[in-house]
Amino acid sequence: MKKKILLIYTGGTIGMIKGNSKNTLIPFNLDELLRAIPELKNDELDLKNISIRNPIDSSNMNLTVWVEMAQLIEENYEEHDGFVILHGTDTMAFSASAMSFMLENLNKAVIFTGSQIPIGVRRTDAKENLITSVEIAASGKVKEVCVYFEDQLYKGNRTVKINTEHFEAFESPNYPILAEAGVNIKYKSYLGKGSEKKLKLNTKMSNNVAVLKLFPGIRIETIKAIIGSAKGIVIESYGAGNAPTNSDFLRLFENATANGKILINITQCLHGSAIEGKYETSELFRKSGVICGRDLTTEAAITKLMFLLGKGLSNEVIKEQLQTNLRGEITN
């Protein structure tokens, strides 16, 4: 029987052409995109496509579009064997992380892909990325949210964008790749096993979150403003989770947690982890009730906070869940 794969088009460079009035890239029709890749026609594939209502540049990605994407997957889940989401690269890691939390009990492939060069340009990387993503989605070997880009399959909520100029645009800094495409596609043992439970959709996401990136000389007033702006705050600290040993910092974080704020500490470094209490300069966070986010990416930390806050849980449960590996996003 033919494998049924659904392409979901959200916009992005992969489906862009130059507009007539301005020399800028704008999204174009998905049918035109598919006509540009005749290799997708295959006797073993039943390939369908659908688009979000208003395809966008991924810089305009928001919670409403995430909900629309998740709902399209739910509505078509039983009739299809896998899904490929065509998405701009700038916020792809955020969207892949968000989908991993929104699609609970997933047992089919949801592959995000895109390109650095538009489909209509001679040297485009779009064709290979899309063709291989479809093949992976149809393989039956992948049962989770992933990002496929330039011969590598990454766990979605472990992925970060690292380059704007090279085809190798993404990396999974703290988790092994799930598959590598060469002459053959080699699948690794780290692939998720999927779930036998019924798919559950989580669409209540809260954007009452903020990111606080520490830097030398940061003012207390700046930290106060960021913490005061949101319920959940991701702190990007130095090295293995360190911050200045400043009594003003300690009081500020203590007051924030005492007043119901949820703060989670991750490292600014691409590789490695925040480690609670490794250095004296990390004691500040432990003493003030800040959660240690270990090796969460910024994208996963933000979207996990959005997901948990949207569920209306108590602060105690949210803090517990932030430290719990829900979708493979954090190393135990």
Rounded to whole angstroms, how far apart are CA atoms 96 and 9? Answer: 14
**CATH architecture of the domain formed by 209-322:** 3-Layer(aba) Sandwich (3.40)
Q: What is the mean pLDDT of residues 224-243?
A: 95
What would the pLDDT profile of 175-223 be if each residue is shown by its tens digit? 999 999 999 999 999 898 999 999 999 999 999 999 999 999 999 999 9
Q: Which residue has the tokens 């890749």?
A: 37
Rounded to whole angstroms, how far apart are CA atoms 296 and 302? Answer: 9
Q: Among 232, 240, 195, 188, which residue's Cα sits nearest to residue 212?
A: 232
The domain limits of the chain are 3-201, 209-322
What would the pLDDT profile of 142-168 be if each residue is shown by its tens digit? 999 999 998 999 999 999 999 888 878
Question: Is there a catalytic annotation at residue 89?
Answer: no
3-state secondary structure of 261: coil
Hey, do 3-201 and 209-322 end up sharing a CATH topology, with the first three levels equal?
yes
Catalytic residue among 13, 113, 124, 298: 13
pLDDT of residue 249: 87
Residue count (the chain):
332
Rounded to whole angstroms, how far apart are CA atoms 62 and 212? Answer: 20
User: Please, how many CA atoms are within 13 Å of residue 210, restricted to the half-sphere of its CB?
Assistant: 16
Higher pLDDT residue, 221 or 18? 221
CATH code, residues 3-201: 3.40.50.1170
Report the amino acid identity of residue 247: S
DSSP notation for 293-326: -TT--HHHHHHHHHHHHHTT--HHHHHHHHTS-S
Higher pLDDT residue, 23 or 253? 253
What would the pLDDT profile of 76-132 be if each residue is shown by its tens digit? 999 999 999 999 999 999 999 999 999 999 999 999 998 877 776 777 777 889 999
